Structure 1
Amino acid sequence: MIRKPKGVAIADVVSPPIGDLALLPAPVARIRDKILAACETGDVEALRIPIDWNETRPLFAKSGAFRAGTDPIEILKALSFDRKGRETISLIRAIFAQPYVKIMRGPTTLYEWPAFARHPEPPANNEEALARWRCVRFDDLARSNAEGKPRATRIGIASDGVWHYFWSED
């Protein structure tokens, strides 16, 4: 077993963008499908099922803005510009329509959407640019990330099918 020296971070190994959903591990494909099926209902409450599939809830903010024990659906509604969760549903659909990346971090493998959040190449055309903007929360439109790019909302799912996060960049 390889041990890293104390205080040394393990660097992420990030794949190029991947568009082929057939390459996803079965547990990742299953939770992605569950999340999208919940979105198809048009009711943010339906996301409770894929959220509760996890032993622990997915994180909805990197900064810990929401305290533990808060209802996840109420968090998603609060994060949604309309306060009803419709923006959340639209974001999830737009994000999962994008290519993804495979991220290896030590022994952990994550699949993250959208790939352009990790690979910020310019969009190929106007259609691709619009599709990327659909992955940005309304509240994040006025703020950019450290590179001056839109703050894309990301979804991360581990190779074992655990939904880890659904958040905007900090």
Structure 2
Amino acid sequence: MNRKLKGGVAGDVISPPIVDLALLPAPVARIRDKILAACETGDVEALRIPIDWNETRPLFAKSGAFKAGTDPIEILKALSFDRKGRETISLIRAIFSQPFVKIVRGPTTLYEWPAFARHPQTPADETEASARWASARWASARWRCVRFADLPRSNAEGRPHATRIGIAADGVWHYFWTED
């Protein structure tokens, strides 16, 4: 059952958390696999290939904190606590290991990781809990998806600011950012 939830644009329809990667459209699965393969190298520079797959580059900050034309790898390094991109690689791997949600916004469909960035802090019912959302594991997973620089901050609900990845149904990587 889809729900309209806080954290989205008015009119967004957001699915419950999904763990079955077979439910992803083929273009989404392909770009996710490319991003993860780049992360497996351990070199943030390898992310240039999936970034450049898009006609336009993914957004790395909601607020436009980086000026146009800035090298995307330099942005990812700047966002990483170690300034070398290792934190970025670790975040991406942690985020993609989590359940995702399908977001329908008018004619646009996005797939966003991690699902808990759009859902209440604890599983809503036993069905969600049985979908690998056991409380201790769920809480631990949340912290792995938070940038070191964002640890002292929390959102209006008191939850940590999770970093999110959004990919459209056509396989375009839209964003990799931390919620404001």
TM surpasses 0.5: yes
User: CA offset at residue 120 of structure 1?
Assistant: 2.3
Which of 154, 163, 170 is the matching residue for 1:153? 163
- Aligned match of 1:128 in 129, 138, 162? 138
Alpha-carbon separation, structure 2, partners of 1:57 and 1:124: 36
1:20-169 equivalences in 2 (<5 Å): 20-122=20-122, 124-169=134-179
How far, CA to CA, are the matches of 1:18 and 1:150 in structure 2? 21
The aligned amino acid for 1:160 is D
Q: What is the aligned-residue RMSD (CA, Å)?
A: 1.1
Instruction: Give TM-score scaled by structure 1 length.
Output: 0.93
**Unaligned ranges ≥5, structure 1:** 1-8
Deviation of the 1:125 alpha carbon: 2.6
SS at the partner of 1:46? helix
SS of the aligned residue for 2:63 comes to coil
Deviation at 1:57, TM superposition (A): 0.2
SS at match of 2:17: coil
8 Å CA contact 2:21, 2:29 repeated in 1: yes
Give the TM-score taking structure 2 as reference length: 0.88
1:160: how far off?
0.1
Q: Does the CA-based 8 Å contact 1:10-1:106 persist in structure 2?
A: no
Per-residue Cα deviation, 1:84-108 (whole angstroms, up to 9, x for no partner): 0000000000000000000000000
Matched AA of 2:50: P
Quote the offset at 1:127 in angstroms.
2.4
Tell me how far 1:10 sits from its aligned partner: 5.1
3-state SS of paired residue (1:16): coil
2:64 is aligned with what amino acid? G
Give the aligned length.
Answer: 162
Secondary structure, aligned partner of 2:22: helix
Deviations 1:114-163 (A, max 9, x none): 00000123263322211110000000000001211000000000000000
Partner secondary structure for residue 30 of structure 2: helix
Q: Is the 8 A contact 2:121 2:159 kept in 1?
A: no
